[in-house]
Structure 1
Amino acid sequence: MTLHLQAHLLSVRVPHMVWPAMSPDLNPIEHVWDQLKQRLDARTPPPRDLAELRVALVEEWNALPQNNIMRLVRSMRRRCQAVIAANGRNTRY
């Protein structure tokens, strides 16, 4: 985050939380990638080349249930609380 952005957020009183660097527990996109991989692995027949893989990725990405993604987004408060409670160590997420 740039200094200008930080100053602006402070001036409009937007709460700010220090984000632990590289914390997979606070990175819900990892779960989305896992769902995408599972969907690709289940395709019959599997993609045979890069062009088919690109098509399959787009199709599966578009077919990901939005409620799964929203559930991950809504879990962020619990994820942050779990990381804080674990003093930055691993959590169940």
Structure 2
Amino acid sequence: MREENDVDILKQHLLTSVRKLNLGRKWVFQLDNDPKPFCHNFESMLKDNKVKVLEWPSQCLDLNPIEHLWSELKRRVRARRPTNLTQLLQLCLEEWARIHPTYCGKLVEGYPKRLTQVKQFKGNAIKY
């Protein structure tokens, strides 16, 4: 995706999502530290909207719960051994629907423990 698309998506949906989720004013935006979207327009959009951005080590997948969620989805789909693209899509949708919200909650709840471990390992990968 091009950086302009990232900015457009955020302009259209970020603040609306914050309001719908009733996050109030004390929310923090987490980037995946991909250098691509951090163009001038992207930084300006965040600054203009007074978006507080979480500072965290780049390429630190252990601190990003969505990375663990993607890993779980891949593991589940791989176990079902899709044989073509159509089947892959179908299995992804089925397995995504089977991931219980409590699993996502556990990923978020485990964040403090992972953060402590990442600090101990000075930003290197941890066993998770």
Shift of 1:56: 1.1
- Give the partner amino acid of 1:65: H
| Aligned-residue identity in percent | 33
Instruction: In structure 1, list runs of 5 or more residues that go unmatched.
Output: none
* Alignment coverage as a number of residue pairs: 86
Q: 1:2 aligned to 2:2?
A: no
SS at match of 1:2: helix
Larger Rg: 1
Higher relative contact order (CA closer than 8 Å, sequence separation 6+): 1
Cα RMSD after superposing both structures? 2.5
Residue 89 of structure 1 is matched in structure 2 by 124
Q: CA deviation at 1:6?
A: 5.1
Amino acid at match of 1:21: S
- Residue 56 of structure 2 is aligned to residue 19 of structure 1: yes
Please list the CA deviations of residues 41-91 of structure 1 after superposition, one character each: whole Å capped at 9, or x if unmatched.
Answer: 332xx4332112111111111111221111001112222222223222332
Q: 2:107 aligns with which of 72, 75, 81?
A: 72
Structure 2, unaligned runs of 5 or more = 1-41
Which amino acid in 1 is paired with 2:65?
P
The CA distance in 1 between the partners of 2:68 and 2:122, in whole Å, is 22
